[in-house]
Structures are given as structure tokens and as C-alpha cells.
Amino acid sequence: MAKQNQTLGEFIIEKQTEFKYSSGELSKLINAIRLAAKVVNHEVNKAGLVDILGTAGETNVQGEQQQKLDVLANDAFIRTLTNREIVCGIASEEEDTFVKINSSDRNNQNKYVVLIDPLDGSSNIDVNVSVGTIFSIYRRVTPVGTPVTEEDFLQPGKNQVAAGYVIYGTSTMLVYTTGHGVNGFTLNPAIGTFYLSHPNMIYPDNGRIYSINEGNYVHFPQGVKDYIKYCQTEEDDRPYTSRYIGSLVSDFHRNMIKGGIFIYPKSSKATDGKLRLLYECNPMAFLAEQANAKASNGFERILDIQPTELHQRVPFFCGSKKMVEKAEEFMQKYR
Ligand code: AHM
Ligand code: MG
């Protein structure tokens, strides 16, 4: 039973011992993410009010360098995590390669690497639609005290120790898991505190919402086309409702609460789909499984995929168990 008015800070301390490597390092790391999320939230809320929507590299009237919000969010997360010296490396969707964090005591003793998509769905900013930050945390596989290598980041999603997202929506929420269920916290902007508002989030087993960019229909594999037709057929509890924001975090969040499936398939134009395995699909898949849902590439579990490159893309089917299983059935027919 959730405690009344429990803050995220209190929750992190309470749960610290639940975690199998409870040195406190992971808690500090999630605290740093909480802080960076508040910084980004502040900036996102100013979008449209101040001269912040310009292209990165431009100079504003004050002669200051303008930054796009996704660049700003990237800097906020990297800076916060770097300054606090709590990770040994960061990989970001916004960076070509991973960042090694040097520690002031020369040998970085930190065990964790973080992968982030600092502002996912950022094309939605200009039209005042919700965007999000996605994060994923692993223990490094190379020895502590040595510089991180790509190997530390190219781990299958099942190795994640924590993952989550921040949704900058009608209210700002931080939703995360450390492998013991999924909990959601809503920001009270007046005092800058996240409160536990959605304890133990669970995807409904089945749902009536399908989320896919149907504009690409002609380019989809036949299995996906057939599944879309299934969703639209009048039978039993169908036709389903179509909802697609084009902002993964928002589409996922809605589907987790209401029940639904999100699909970003491969297409004849994008042979591996669009979404990134490490920054988008793995963290969402970990959250989905922790919330009793399912995530696959149409055939195999997302969390089992061995990544081969940092910016690897993968088809993504994620949501209510029964819906994902039904979509997979259609995919199997054309395997
Ligand atoms: P981004 O990382 O460049 O923001 O792209 C990811 C976003 C997801 O949030 C969303 O699900 C998808 O792109 C939408 O793509 P499309 O416009 O092709 O439907
Ligand atoms: Mg993204």
C-alpha cells in the first residue's frame, strides 16, 4: 500500500535495500536523473515563451547561443550525471559515440553506465505536444577502475538494472523500474517535488487501442497490414480505437494506463524500423515487462536481442500481452 504523499526522494531511500547491489550508488544515480528531469521540465515549459525554439548554432538577440531543446536536454542530463561522478559512462541518442566519465580520483570507481534519449519526440515541441526523456541503466561488464568500452553499452536489455522515462505532458511524471514493478511520480511544479501518484503500474492484459503511423501502411510488411485490418474489423470488441501521438513516451504511457499496443514496424523504406534498440526499445521493453506487458520485434523478445552497435534500430511491438501476442500471430504467417 502506497504511503500518503510519499515523495520520490523518500521512495528511493525506502527501496534502496530492495535492490540486490544496495551500495546506494543506484539510488544516487536515480536522484541525479530526478534533478536533470526537473531542469529539462523547466526548459520544456518555457518553450514558446522564450527564444528557445531556434535552430542549434544560431545566435539570439542577446548575442547568446541558441540551443534547441533536445540539445539542451542532452547537456542537462550529461552535465548532471558527470558533475556528480556517479556513472562511468553515458551514451546518448544525441551523441555519435559514448562519453567516458573521468573521476577526480583518477580511477573511476563507478559501476554504472547510463543510456539516454534526452528528448524523445522533440519534433512535437513546436506544436505543444507531450515529449519525454527515456533512460536505461546497466552495470558495466569491464573491470571497475578501467575506462569504459563499447562493450559496457552493448548489453542485451535483460541486463538492465533500471529504466524509466519522464513525460513532459499536461503534468510532468517520472516513471521507472528497478526490476521490482513500475512506479509513477507526478511533479508538483509549485514546489518542484515528485510525489508517488501511480504505485505499481500494470498494463491491462488486453486493450482496445492500437498505435501505429498508418500513413506508412503501403510500406508495411504483410503481417502488420493484416493486423491493422484485424484491428479495424467489426467483430467481438473490435473495431479498436486508433491513437498515435508520434511521441513514444506519450503513446506508451497512455497504453499502459488504458490498455493498448504500440507498433513501429520495419517497412520497405526503413528496413529495421525507426526506433533505437538501446535508447528507446530496451528501456520501454523493461518497463513493459515489469508492468505485466510484452515487447518484441514481432518475433523475438526485445530484451534478448544482443546489440551490435550503439545506434541500432529495431522493429518494435509493445503493449498489452494479448494484443502483442495477436500481432505476433499475424507476423508469423509471413515469416
Ligand atoms: P526521435 O528520437 O527523433 O524523437 O524519434 C522517435 C519518435 C518516437 O517518439 C515516435 O514514436 C516516433 O519517432 C514517431 O515516428 P513517425 O513520425 O515516423 O511516426
Ligand atoms: Mg528518440
Give me the amino acid identity at 33: I
| Residue 290 near residue 179 (C-beta atoms within 8 A) | yes
Centroid of ligand 1 to alpha carbon of 44 (angstroms) = 18
Q: What ligand is nearest to the CA atom of residue 278?
A: 2
This complex has an ipTM of 0.97
Torsion angles phi and psi, residue 293, rounded to 5: -115, -165
Give me the amino acid identity at 6: Q
| Residue 278 near residue 136 (C-beta atoms within 8 A) | yes
Question: Which residues lie below 8 Å from residue 82, measured CB to CB, with a gap of 6+?
Answer: 90, 99, 101
Helix axes 222-232, 321-332, angle to 10 degrees: 130
Closest ligand 1 atom number to CA of residue 279: 2
Q: From atom 11 of ligand 1, which residue's Cα is the shortest distance away?
A: 248
Centroid of ligand 2 to alpha carbon of 117 (angstroms) = 6
SS3 243: coil
pLDDT at 244: 98
Centroid of ligand 2 to alpha carbon of 132 (angstroms) = 9
Cα separation, 18 vs 180, whole angstroms: 8
Residues within 5 A (CB) of ion ligand 2 = 117, 120
pLDDT at 241: 98
User: Of how many residues is the chain composed?
Assistant: 335
Max Cα separation, the chain? Answer: 65
Centroid of ligand 1 to alpha carbon of 28 (angstroms) = 30
pLDDT at 84: 82
Centroid of ligand 2 to alpha carbon of 91 (angstroms) = 13
Q: Which residue's C-alpha cell is 488486453?
A: 206
pLDDT at 116: 97
pLDDT at 85: 79
Give the end-to-end CA distance of the chain in Å, rounded to a whole number: 45
Q: Which DSSP letter does residue 18 get?
A: G
Q: What is the pLDDT tens value at each position of the chain, 335 positions in all?
A: 557 789 999 998 888 776 655 668 888 999 999 999 999 999 888 877 665 555 566 555 545 454 588 899 999 999 999 988 789 999 999 999 999 987 665 557 889 999 999 999 988 888 889 999 999 999 999 999 888 999 999 999 999 999 999 999 999 999 999 999 999 999 999 999 999 999 999 999 999 999 999 999 999 999 999 999 999 999 999 999 999 999 999 999 999 999 999 999 999 999 999 999 999 999 999 999 999 999 999 999 999 999 999 999 999 999 999 999 999 999 999 98
Torsion angles phi and psi, residue 173, rounded to 5: -125, 150
Q: From atom 15 of ligand 1, which residue's Cα is the shortest distance away?
A: 246
Q: Which residue's C-alpha cell is 534526452?
A: 118
Cα separation, 203 vs 289, whole angstroms: 9
Give Cα separations from 185 to 4, 182, 290 (angstroms). Answer: 12, 10, 16
Centroid of ligand 2 to alpha carbon of 74 (angstroms) = 12
| Other beta carbons within 10 Å of 95 | 15
Q: From atom 14 of ligand 1, which residue's Cα is the shortest distance away?
A: 246
| Other beta carbons within 10 Å of 316 | 25
Give Cα separations from 64 to 40, 41, 43, 98, 119 (angstroms). Answer: 19, 21, 16, 28, 22
Beta-sheet pairing, 209-211 with 241-242: parallel
Question: Which residues lie below 8 Å from residue 43, measured CB to CB, with a gap of 6+?
Answer: 52, 69, 72, 73, 76
Give Cα separations from 21 to 24, 135, 290 (angstroms). Answer: 8, 19, 19
Q: Could you tell which of 122, 127, 134, 274 is best to mutate to test the pocket of ligand 1, judged by most ligand atoms within 8 Å of the CB?
A: 274
Q: From atom 16 of ligand 1, which residue's Cα is the shortest distance away?
A: 246
Q: Could you tell which of 124, 275, 278 is best to mutate to test the pocket of ligand 1, judged by most ligand atoms within 8 Å of the CB?
A: 275
Q: Which of 272, 264, 268, 275 is nearest to 213 (CA)?
A: 264
Centroid of ligand 2 to alpha carbon of 145 (angstroms) = 31
Torsion angles phi and psi, residue 57, rounded to 5: 100, -15
Closest ligand 1 atom number to CA of residue 213: 19
Binding residues for substrate: 120-123, 213, 244, 274
Q: From atom 3 of ligand 1, which residue's Cα is the shortest distance away?
A: 121
Ligand 1, CB cutoff 6 Å, lining residues = 93, 117, 120-122, 213, 246-248, 264, 274
Torsion angles phi and psi, residue 124, rounded to 5: -80, -15
pLDDT at 54: 54
Cα separation, 49 vs 113, whole angstroms: 35
CA angle (74 as vertex; 71, 77 as ends), nearest 5: 150
Binding residues: 93, 117, 119-123, 213, 244, 274, 280
Q: Which of 120, 136, 127 is nearest to 248 (CA)?
A: 120
